[in-house]
Amino acid sequence: MDENIKLKIPKSAEEIESDALITSALLSYEKALDLGLGKDKIIISCKVSRLNQMVNCYREISKNCSAPLHLGLTEAGMGMKSIVATTAALSILLEQGIGDTIRSSLTPEGWFSKVKRSKTLSRNFTIFGY
């Protein structure tokens, strides 16, 4: 953050966090390869809770690395809002050919069972043609 303050146009906290996530993911991938882990044993995943930040991070990682990407919006929240956010984030990236595996990180609600959430997500992706 100290270096950021010195910039003519400082980056936002989210931009700095995104840069750190991207750099960490790419360096971790390279380190795993250096340690002898096979490319077929590595999947990159970033813990991101904001939709736009998730999309931007995975776009940037996919430009700089050929490793499989595990997509998911971390702590998306509860109920329909979380399903909409997760569906939107995953749909944007999948439409661009980014992502190899997906997950959903939804906070359970008593009235909104895991089965119902899974069916809703599945239906949403069917509608979008995935």
What pTM was computed for the model? 0.79
Whether 97 has a pLDDT exceeding 90, the answer reads: yes
Which stretches within 1-128 are classed as H helix?
2-6, 13-34, 51-64, 79-95, 114-127
pLDDT in tens, 39-94: 999 999 998 989 999 999 999 999 999 999 999 888 767 777 888 888 899 999 99
Distance CA 112, CA 24 (A): 35
Domain limits of the chain? 2-127
Please identify, in words, the CATH class of the domain defined by 2-127. alpha beta
